[in-house]
Structure 1
């Protein structure tokens, strides 16, 4: 009995090693930010099925799995935007309202109690603007140049102007304006008074 069990374990180990020796290419799926996507995975063996997610720099997460007993499909991620459906020949993973956090490699595993293998995988790339709002605005200074005598005061006006044609909002809700004085080196100006009027800054 022990000999048969050892043989089965060895067979399963050899099977997994043989699978790992032939790396499979991961396909690329592009989706717009806020859109929906459905990933498909064929099923070749009845038994175990896993759907994994691996974000760059993070450990692998189990998205869904099918246990050998009962053949029940269970969603592991606590996320209402994820939906997994299954059948005898394939499983599908649908992600709604795509966010940047969904960008990752998704791959599925199928097999029996004696050995499983990765069926396919895809890298889900999310297109669209990220949460870095500084890229969507630029600062316009008026006047661009001004000549003054030592001891005189000068007023420089900075305006936040939107660069996004789709977003006509000229004044973002959260922003910070820093002033720099340029000579041989660049210094942050700290000895000036800043007066805010809507999205206009006067120094």
Structure 2
């Protein structure tokens, strides 16, 4: 058993991680993300392969916090499949969104570790970091990188980019605030007792 402490000094014991356990659980997490991502891509398309409702963003951010770099890797790989299913984006185009999806998961994961914040969102500082970084800043970064990639592929023009940027940003941000906050508050106390929860480590 491993022991770790969160920022409220609560000691939690969890079973040791194994490669097989990490692989199986993260495969299941990837499957969930693909389904949610494909649903979001199909649910409210606004053109240019941009959706006005993409709840998988909440899972991207949470995965980075809970599962460290394992979650970040899942976060930038699963959209290649979910976008191909939900919006018929060619995989080679979806692959160019890896930088956008990387920052949509890594940024808040780094902040929570750097400042020793609590994924259960118990303090005002936890909430501010989650909303400002996890739901707003990293989606602004992702929207900028993602829509720029689409412009370079010729999917829409530079003049149209601000419109699609706004659609990406809004479509990612509000599901992250609503669903992501609920998942962190409700599920983290249970997930942190499992073998695949790596916080505050990265691996």
Structure 2 length-normalised TM = 0.28
More helix as a share of residues? 2
Q: Which has the higher contact order (CA 8 A, sep 6+)?
A: 2
Structure 1 length-normalised TM = 0.28
Determine which structure has more spread, i.e. the larger CA radius of gyration.
1
